[in-house]
Structure 1
């Protein structure tokens, strides 16, 4: 089964002092699969993302990406291998143009050397031209090409979220991790985001792991749900079955005696 999986995490644990933030976390994602990771605030969801993307090193356990062991691999190397993410708080270069935000991500693929860059040799200009053309193609897919020359910080909030996802896609990922992409969005923006995520998976054929609190979005696109609570997996499986699991309901709402 692992041979067909893009990511396999086994018995991941991380401890901060006396606090065990994640305990025996296991995850397997297949190519093109769209999986949701949900749970109450403080459940450890973003900590899992930080481990998988090399921000934190797990205290124990290991995981493989695209069949290669990548435990304790630096974030930059993981991006080059095809793992990209977005964050809860939008992290754009707000004073750069929309196009330049995406072009910056293409630097991972540029091959011109220091001398070509310093002296603006033909190889430099060719790769820069190619990067701009690819950036514009990507912006068009996300319906952001009309904002190409606008400072990213001037975009409406929902469009900034889309731009952050477009920039992540510029790294040519095999797996995209989205950390609460609908946070702060109104219902219309959330619906647009849902369509964008579906478009990404269908058009680019990549796997997506999504942290989200908006249950309408989660149930609208996810094929499988994993519920995390106090750093451990509480339930996983079919989304509708998972959210009706009594343990999951209790984790979100408390016991009946507590209400």
Structure 2
């Protein structure tokens, strides 16, 4: 009888061990499957991010090529015509006797000269290589000079910290976003004062543009979610995400708009 009990105990023990081994085997398979699934998802996410970066790079190249072509046409055609007109006005002014509408000719000549200077400034803002050669701060400063000449808005730009290069791809994105924000502040927000702040820290750069325009009701219109807001804000948010930056906006009706972009310094490790 004791022998039969021992055999039962051995069988139960063996069954328990086999069941335990089976559970371990199934858990191992489950964890392997989960790990492979996670690796696959990460691979898909990496491919998607790479694809998005390539799309952004292609868009920037097409945009820069188009703007450079436009800039070339403006310089070669309109710029040359204005230059010829200025020369003719100079010749005409020299041929006039004192008092023969000379003041009007001089005034017209000054206007043409200002138009030439404005055209050159505009051409620089179109040229993406300007950002590559001179950096983010100087490129935005060139845009600000052109805005100040209109006398419609006061624009200030403040620089904090020691500037360093973020790489052309990232700086051209920040520059184009800055252009778009400034354009929105002038055309839609009807701002009278705009403040741009570029703060270089060892670990990150903070790029902020604030205006005193009309603002807008961002929370109800977008549910506080940029992804459900206007195309302009969505494009800004998408571009900042693709270069590894964060995008935030503060605005309310009658309280202006503040847009801040924070970009980690990947070189600083």
- TM-score above 0.5, yes or no: no
Structure holding more helix per residue: 2
Larger CA Rg, structure 1 vs 2: 2
More strand by share: 1
**TM-score, structure 2 as length reference:** 0.24
